Amino acid sequence: MAIKAIVLDIDGTLLTTGKVVSEKTKQALIAAQEKGIKVILASGRPTTGMFELAEQLEMTKYEGFLVSYNGARVTDCLTKEVLFNQAMSVETGRAILEHLKKFNVVPMIDKEDYLYVNDVYNKDLQKVAADFKLEEFGSIIEY
C-alpha cells in the first residue's frame, strides 16, 4: 500500500527541542510532497500559528492542509479556504470560561480579529485588540 499522506503534530513531534524544523526533516517532507504525498500539520495551535511552518515546508506549493484548534478547523494551504470549522458556541465558551475562573489558568479564545481572555485581576472576560501582527504567507494580518 502506498503512503498517501503524512500527518504530523507540531510541538514535540515536528519541531526540535529548539522549536525549529530540522533541515533533515524539512528536506524529507519536501521530498515526500514532490512524490505526491500530502503533508498535513495537526495541532492544538490556532491556524495563524501554523502558517509559518507550512511555508517552510512548501505546503502551499504542494497543496497541504492544516488541522488546527485540536481538529476543530481544517484549512487548505493553497487557497487558505477553511474546509471544516466546528467552533464551540458562544454560550459554551462562556460557560467554560466561567468554570475556569476557579483555577489558576489564563484561558484564551481566538475569534476572528480578536483574542478573548479572562482578566487575571478581576476575572472578567475582556476583548483584547492586540498590538501585534502575524505574517500569513507574506501578507500582514493585524490582531
CA dihedral 70, 76, 82, 83 (to 10 degrees): -80
Establish whether 9 is a catalytic residue. yes
Q: What does the block give as the cell for 108?
A: 484564551
> Pick the catalytic residue: 9, 110, 113, 131?
9
Cα 14 from Cα 20, distance rounded (Å) = 8
Residues 6+ apart with CB under 8 A from 60: 54, 77, 78, 137
Element (H, E) at 67: strand 65-68
CB 118 within 8 A of CB 100: yes
Query: How many whole angstroms separate alpha carbon 4 and alpha carbon 11?
Result: 23
Q: Which residues are catalytic?
A: 9
